[in-house]
Structure 1
């Protein structure tokens, strides 16, 4: 199934489920949906950032501070996080720790996100359709890099929260 054909969970401003729709229509209509974000740290406290492929439906070619993605219909945030971590980075069986929920909105995106963290030293098996490359940086260095290169704006918001 192509990503555009995935059926995703729609929610209202209060994060209450209101229906399901194809990912393509959700993007076209800029509807509020759910997503999971997994911050992957190594034991030195460095964060794994990943470069999104040019084929991504939103923020193509941007750096992202989190693995993760859209929550599918009938899926919990936790199930989505485990699935996305395995798909994007080849990581399974890790301990996901809940950090916080956040709402983010810009001209392209309206999303209720649940943010998790885990520790993994690598190596990673990157999903070629979604992840071009990746590297470990300190969170502060990642934030500094975002001043020179494009980063997903929702990711920068959550990075700023963890640096406070």
Structure 2
């Protein structure tokens, strides 16, 4: 059973914790991380969730994602998710999330990385991931439209591809 730290609306960690699946108290939020790995060719590494996985079974998803567990900060959670789900050891020590999106129950941090990874080197977490592949933007949009990808806003996927080598919201 996962235990999560809770945060207030200003993203300050509270003294309270909760279990995955518990109802959120008013004013309490949790932290989720996503890591999107792009190849130097501009493709995103995506993974297919296991058909028995709770929440979007059998659908394609971003490279990795998941909730931060109690005691972890965003960076630590992102590093753990990369290793657990795909067997990728990657230090994010000097990397900040490219963007954070607020949602009803918390905060989604998105890390955008560029690294050419051989699919054969991945170690898929059997409980969560059934497959992984490189995909171009049009393919991901088509998978979303065919209901075969987690239904992210298409504009978010476009934004992730656009921002993959940049920080900030304006060009210099």
TM range (shorter): 0.7 to 0.9
Which segment drifts farther, 54-63 or 73-82? 54-63
* Closer/same/farther in 2, CA of residues 83 and 74 from structure 1, 3 Å limit: same
Runs of 4+ in 1 over 6 A off after TM superposition: none
Q: CA deviation at 1:97?
A: 5.6
Q: TM-score, normalised by structure 1?
A: 0.80
Counterpart position of 1:61: 58
Q: Unaligned 5+ residue runs, structure 2?
A: 163-172
SS of corresponding position for 1:25: coil
* Closer/same/farther in 2, CA of residues 112 and 142 from structure 1, 3 Å limit: same
In the alignment, does 2:5 pair up with 1:9? Answer: yes
Q: Deviations over 1:103-131 (max 9, x none)?
A: 234xxxx3311100222422311111000
Structure with the higher helix share, 1 or 2 = 1
Counterpart position of 1:35: 32
Counterpart position of 2:160: 162
Q: Deviations over 1:81-122 (max 9, x none)?
A: 0000001011003555631111234xxxx3311100222422
SS of corresponding position for 2:33: strand
| Whole-angstrom distance in 2 between the partners of 1:155 and 1:6 | 27
Count of residues paired in the alignment: 154
Q: TM-score, normalised by structure 2?
A: 0.77
Q: CA deviation at 1:42?
A: 1.5
Q: Which has the larger radius of gyration?
A: 2
Q: Unaligned 5+ residue runs, structure 1?
A: none
* Closer/same/farther in 2, CA of residues 113 and 155 from structure 1, 3 Å limit: farther
| Whole-angstrom distance in 2 between the partners of 1:26 and 1:6 | 14
| Whole-angstrom distance in 1 between the partners of 2:154 and 2:106 | 14
Counterpart position of 2:131: 133
Q: CA deviation at 1:157?
A: 6.0
